[in-house]
Homo-oligomer: A and B are copies of this chain.
Amino acid sequence: MRRKAAVVGGGVIGAGWAARFLLMGWDVAVADPDPEAPRKVGEVLANARAALPGLHDVALPDEGRLSVGTSLAEAVAGAEWVVEAVPERLELKHRVYAEIQRHAPRALIGSSTSGFRPSELQENAADPARILVTHPFNPVYLLPLAELVPSPANPPEVVEQARAVLTGIGMHPLLVRKEIDAHIADRFLEAVWREALWLVKDGVATTEEIDDAIRYGFGLRWAQMGLFETYRIAGGEAGMRHFIAQFGPCLKWPWTKLTDVPELTDELVETIAAQSDAQSGAFTIRELERIRDRNLVGILRSLKGYAADPRDGWGAGRLLREHDARIGRPAPDLSGPILTGARAVPLDWTDYNGHMNEARYLQAFGDATDRFMEIVGCDADYIATGGSFFTAETHIRHLGEVHAGERIEIRTQLLGAEGKRMHLWHEMRAGGALKATGEHMLIHVSLATRRPSPPGETVAARLAEVWAAHARLPRPEGAGRAVGAPR
């Protein structure tokens, strides 16, 4: 039976949580009094379907079932996890928790609040131990960070349970060990936001100039290393102590205006809104969301690196690899063509023609080749001993288009394995239809000499085992074909 999560509040944050749980295989019930909620949740889910599954290089579980209604009681019934994502009013949240705990007394309640500490949320609750803060970042279905903030009223097993749920849906629960106002990340956002308001108010910079100052400079650094690791590099070989000693005095300089808060006059609001219109008004919010998602998918996948790379990925890309490993791949059945790939087409693999770029067919086939190598024992450990297969020759037929978010499967037949040569045949299908074939000749090489060399004994034996089964399979239509040959 699938696990069930409830989401109370179907705004952009609640809908983002719903999409993440659904795409990770949970059933989700959303409660929201807004009659527009089903449409709004559906729009976020559509964006999430195109973006999230393609972050992973394995197939996610089948999507769960979604229901959206107005009844909180129905939504939380049978849920083991309840997301609270209602407006930031404490008395409202208290009322919501009372009702949740009446109908689902065993459920864990994770509040999306940025403005309240868990001990404030827990005041007067029937069961304070099951309420804590799990603060996400928009878009919830793509950004892995969730600040997990317990109070002393939450026993360790509740914290552990929350951590397991968040990890299970592909997030990074950052345990905030001391509850403080705004947790951790929003303290920075708040500091930057105030400074930005001053710069606009004082006419030093427009909203667009401020955004450019961020995204052409330190924003690129912070997407992959944070503040301290970046400064560690800036300190150079002399290290972090040197960096702080050098820059410490600068702290005394009068560089921020944050001792005071600019008054949000109508004039300032209008200035910001007008500058923002000038900057981004050419796009609707929906368009900006899709652009953002494509960018984030591209950034996250670039931090992840090539699927078969034994290196770990970096930052948020490493988190994705860890989640892929948790999901795992099915055990191979060697008796017929072997399932060597099952994945969704990533957003950033599609191009201006609206379909998967031709090079990504070879990337998917290359990943399948790597999976086949792993199956026959040519895995990271083997490669570390100095041998590997290099592709010498490739023939691809593009037989149909595939689009972002579409699930593809690749099955691989061994066409031959003698000496240093390994001859592979990949078939890529989507929705049962054959979309592409790939025929590849690989040569085993010594990584020291970069020259052909025979594979190690275990790999050779395992290849022979597969060949014993696959030699009996019919030769696939199209194998041995040259470009432009008649059918």
Contacts and interface: CB of A to CB of B under 8 A. Distances in A.
A201 B187 CA distance: 15
7 contacts: A174-B216, A181-B255, A189-B218, A211-B228, A233-B289, A251-B264, A482-B485
A385 interface: no
Contacts of A106: none
A315 interface: yes
Given A184-B204, A295-B303, A423-B484, 5 more contacts: A174-B216, A176-B205, A311-B352, A359-B360, A393-B398
Interface stretch (A93-101, A191-199, A321-329, A455-463): A191-199
Contacts of A357: 306, 363, 366
A316 to B, nearest CB: 5
A360 to B, nearest CB: 7
A177 B199 CA distance: 11
Given A195-B187, A398-B390, A483-B394, A224 B229 contact: no
**Copies of this protein chain in the complex:** 2
B396 A145 contact: no
A45 to B, nearest CB: 16
Interface residues of A, number: 154
Interface in A411-452: 416, 421, 423, 439-441, 447, 450
Interface string A299-314: 1111101101111001
A276 B228 contact: yes
Given A205-B176, A224-B292, A393 B391 contact: no
A181 B253 contact: yes
A365 to B, nearest CB: 8
Contact of A184 (B147, B209, B275, B277): B209
Contacts of A441: 483-484
A254 B191 CA distance: 11
A92 interface: no
Given A209-B174, A251-B261, A261-B252, A359 B366 contact: yes
Given A12-B236, A264-B248, A289-B233, A181 B393 contact: no
Contact of A226 (B219, B273, B398): B219
B394 A358 contact: yes
A1 interface: no
A439 B483 contact: yes
